Each structure stands twice: as C-alpha cells, then as structure tokens.
A = this chain, B = another copy of it.
Amino acid sequence: MDKIFEILINRRTIRKYSEKDVDDALLNKILAAGIRASTTGNMQVYSIIVTRDDEIKKQLLPLHFNQKMVTEAPVLLTFCADFNRFNKWCRMRKAEPGYDNFLSFLTAAIDALLVAQTVCIAAESSGLGICYLGTTTYMAHKIIEVLKLPEGVVPVTTITLGWPAEIPEQVDRLPLDAVIHHETYHDYSAEDIDRIYLEKEQRADSLQYIKENNKETLAQVFTDVRYKKEDNVYFSRMLLKVLEEQGFMNQ
C-alpha cells in the first residue's frame, strides 16, 4: 500500500485554488468515506456543514480572520460536535439523554475531528487540496450565528477544499523521536530541546520570519506575534461561554 504512504508523507496544505469546481458526486464520495471513520458507540455525534454559497462565505470570511481561502475555495466544510440530532432521537424514543456536559462535548468533538481528517485524506488522495482553519474555535460564537447552529452543536474545525493552484514547499516537522515516548513520558532536558528544535531554528524561512517580525528568537514570533497570551485568554473565555450556551456545561 505504498501509494497511500506516498500521499500521506508528501502532503502539503493548499491555500490557493483553481477556479474549477468540486462536483457534488466527488464531494459525496469523499464525505461517504469520511463517515466510515470510528465514532464513539456508533453514535455519530457530529455534523458537517457544506458551504458553497458566496454570500455565506463572505459572512464567514472575517470570522476566519480574512484568510482569502475562505472565499476563494469552492467548498468550505465546517465540522461540528453535534448531540442535537441524537438528543432529539432519544426524546422521541422515551429515553432521557444525559449529554449536556463537558465529557459529551469532548466525545462529540473527537467524533467530528476523526471524520474531518478522514475527509481530508480522501480528498487529498483524489488530487484535491485542503487547509484547516484554526480560527473555528476562536470564533465559534460568531460561526454559530452564521451557520444557525442550534443548542447541542459546536463547530470545532473548518477546512477549505478545492483543486490546487500551487505546489508549495513542504513545511518541516520535528524529528519523529521528538514526539514519541516509549512506555511512559520521558520529559525533555535542555539538551533534548536544543536538539529537537535545531533544524527548525536554522532553516532559512525561520530566520527570515524572525527578521520580518523584529524578534530575537523564533519562539518569540509564536508567543509575541502569532499566538499571544492575551488573545488566547480572550478566545478561551468566549469558547467556554459557547460551551455553556450550547448546553455542554451542565454538570
């Protein structure tokens, strides 16, 4: 099965798409493969919102921090943790659901993410390109309004999907042994950290990145520019409020 490994190992995130549409037959084939992913107790506690409409994409654009792929990609897929459907079924069948708690949210989020990644791999193996939008958890409170998500439903990630109009350089990864632990967790010494991050820190793109941002180290680009504490704290509060409002914090 080396073709699959080739696809998994050579993959690149695609942010520029050609104008060619993704037809419904292909999209449905990909989504049908996606829903074969493992799901807790075969409950399938997720939903996928397919967005093709330009007007709705325009409303989502600022919520995804104006990343151009949102309006340029032919298809957006928003993957949601969804206990609404399951709860409705229970109530119609003389069963009282007890899924209005944090554990159930995480269960449903896991379901949604396993489907999302399966959809991505099916799409990439069809020659399509994808990009994950991390902004979904930041702006869940606003995405809920645009996509009209009812109680019991929380968006956890979004992907843009389309035919690639670029073949970008493949980004780096830490050495495999940096993320693997045998039997139990082996905490990192200062020497380990130096070794693990050496290649990343010496890359030309990293050095360029530090310079452009007027920083001293690559880590400072993350902490002071890209993923700042004040933003994280603000969006954390909003996200916890979303979980409460969508009915997942009643424990």
Residue A53 lies at the interface, judged by CB distance under 8 Å to chain B: yes
Contact B9 A85 (CB under 8 A): no
Chain B residues whose C-beta falls within 8 Å of the C-beta of A104 in the assembled complex: 232, 236
Chain B residues whose C-beta falls within 8 Å of the C-beta of A32 in the assembled complex: 9, 176
CB within 8 Å of B: which A8-22 residues: 8-11, 13
CB within 8 Å of B: which A38-67 residues: 38, 40-44, 46-53, 56
Closest Cβ of chain B to A173, distance in Å, is: 5
**Chain copies in complex:** 2
Closest Cβ of chain B to A76, distance in Å, is: 10
Candidates B85, B106, B188; contact of A239 at CB < 8 Å: B106
Closest Cβ of chain B to A190, distance in Å, is: 6
Chain B residues whose C-beta falls within 8 Å of the C-beta of A109 in the assembled complex: 106, 109
Chain B residues whose C-beta falls within 8 Å of the C-beta of A33 in the assembled complex: 5, 8-9
Closest Cβ of chain B to A97, distance in Å, is: 6
Closest Cβ of chain B to A142, distance in Å, is: 14
Chain B residues whose C-beta falls within 8 Å of the C-beta of A171 in the assembled complex: 42
Quick one: CB contact mask for A64-88 with B, threshold 8 Å, 1 for yes? 0000000000000000101011101
Q: How far is the CA of A79 from the CA of B147 in the complex (A)?
A: 31
Chain B residues whose C-beta falls within 8 Å of the C-beta of A236 in the assembled complex: 101-104, 251
Q: How far is the CA of A42 from the CA of B197 in the complex (A)?
A: 12
Quick one: CB contact mask for A177-207 with B, threshold 8 Å, 1 for yes? 0111111110110100110110000000000
Contact A29 B5 (CB under 8 A): yes
Candidates B51, B99, B183; contact of A232 at CB < 8 Å: B99
Chain B residues whose C-beta falls within 8 Å of the C-beta of A88 in the assembled complex: 188, 193
Contact B233 A98 (CB under 8 A): yes
Contact A188 B85 (CB under 8 A): yes
Residue A211 lies at the interface, judged by CB distance under 8 Å to chain B: no
Shortest 9 CB-CB contacts between residues of A and residues of B: A98-B229, A95-B219, A93-B219, A117-B117, A93-B217, A8-B33, A103-B236, A101-B236, A1-B125
